[in-house]
Amino acid sequence: MESIVKVEHLSHRYTVDWAIQDINFEVNRKGILGLLGSNGAGKSTTMNIICGVLNQTDGTVYINGIDTRKNSVEAKKNIGFLPQKPPLYSDHTVDEFLIFAAEMRLVDPKKIKQAVEMAKERCGIAHFSKRLIRNLSGGYQQRLGIAQAIVHSPKFVVLDEPTNGLDPNQILEIRKLVKEIAVDHAVLLSTHILSEVQAMCDDIKMIEHGHLVFSGTLEEFDNYVKPDTFIVKLDNPPEDEEILAIPGVVRLKHLDKNTLRVRFDKREDITEIVASACVNNGWGLCEITLERISLEEIFAQLSGKRLIDKF
């Protein structure tokens, strides 16, 4: 099936400097795509162009096959957008605001009531229909922000840091809601929180210094940097030289009397080699565990930052 969004050779220059350059990607019709990048990497610029809030300097964006520059009104019918600061009018009631949002999104006037009821139901805010927005908690304001983004049943929903500023319970609720929405919508999610990416996203794009530096599944992101250390716990640790003599072992560090961190040189079977050396030499092997590379370390590596040396 054709993707819902196609971004081709997208570049943007605000004044002199390029904010993004030659970005290319596609978005599947279902599921959650996480957009990652450091501050100032170019995420908002990319999202604003895709959502039709900013006109690109170069390149093309197709939403559901429609060129956003050639037919922005039709393209925008397919997009729901929750900006970082939801555009809520605090003196409106929930109903008034959603009706207004539906009108702005050109929903057929005869279908507005039904569209508003559907959006409230999906976002769990139907019982607050008559409440003034300023009297809603942060979590419910965010639900309302999501409701306005889906009121016109767009195929593609863009959420810019939707859990920002929420408490841990509200964060879990919003994550659950976003996952439910992603069952029948394509969702593009921008976030700084890597645990959120891990909890929610199917695919990941990462932008750094205006360039796309990673594009793949969450699993591919997770495995982007292969582990090269393990932790070994020994009842009778030998002299360092004996461990360093094992083929493939290149460095070690004592974490405590019985625990060592060992760096190896990418041999696939290294843990087996070390485990059998420990057993054969009577070093009293208690535990051997490969150290996984954290998402933070992968993010740092893709951002071009040096990883902290663990030795």
| Dist. CA 209–CA 302, nearest whole Å | 11
Q: How far is the CB of 86 from ligand ATP (least distance, A)?
A: 16
Residue 39 touches ligand ATP, criterion: CB under 6 A: yes
Q: CA 35, 36, 38, 42 torsion: positive or negative?
A: negative
For residues 152 and 114, is the Cβ–Cβ distance under 8 A?
Answer: no
Span of 11-19, 100-108, 230-238, 265-273 interacting with ligand ATP by CB under 6 A: 11-19
Question: CA of 96: how far to CAs of 121, 140, 144, 225, 259, in Å?
Answer: 16, 16, 12, 50, 63
Q: How far is the CB of 37 from ligand ATP (least distance, A)?
A: 5
Residue 15 touches ligand ATP, criterion: CB under 6 A: yes
Span of 39-47, 174-182, 247-255, 289-297 interacting with ligand ATP by CB under 6 A: 39-47
Q: How far is the CB of 212 from ligand ATP (least distance, A)?
A: 12
Span of 36-44, 73-81, 260-268, 269-277 interacting with ligand ATP by CB under 6 A: 36-44
| Dist. CA 162–CA 174, nearest whole Å | 8
Please, which residues have CB within 8 angstroms of residue 85's CB and are 6 or more apart in sequence?
none
In terms of CB distance, is 39 or 169 closer to ligand ATP?
39
Angle at which helix 138-150 crosses helix 94-104, to 10 degrees, equals 30
In terms of CB distance, is 80 or 210 closer to ligand ATP?
210
Q: Which of 7, 21, 34, 37 binds ligand ATP (CB under 6 A)?
A: 37
Q: Which of 7, 19, 49, 116 binds ligand ATP (CB under 6 A)?
A: 19
Task: Please give the structure tokens belonging to residue 265.
Answer: 């040189």
In terms of CB distance, is 7 or 262 closer to ligand ATP?
7
Span of 37-45, 172-180, 214-222, 260-268 interacting with ligand ATP by CB under 6 A: 37-45
In terms of CB distance, is 37 or 237 closer to ligand ATP?
37
Q: How far is the CB of 17 from ligand ATP (least distance, A)?
A: 7
In terms of CB distance, is 131 or 211 closer to ligand ATP?
211
Q: Which of 5, 36, 44, 206 binds ligand ATP (CB under 6 A)?
A: 44
In terms of CB distance, is 46 or 229 closer to ligand ATP?
46
Q: Which of 5, 41, 133, 285 binds ligand ATP (CB under 6 A)?
A: 41
| Dist. CA 160–CA 7, nearest whole Å | 18
Q: Which of 2, 9, 14, 247 binds ligand ATP (CB under 6 A)?
A: 14
Q: Which of 4, 7, 36, 43 binds ligand ATP (CB under 6 A)?
A: 43
Q: Which of 4, 10, 34, 45 binds ligand ATP (CB under 6 A)?
A: 45
Which residues form the interface with ligand ATP (CB under 6 A)? 14-15, 19, 37, 39-45
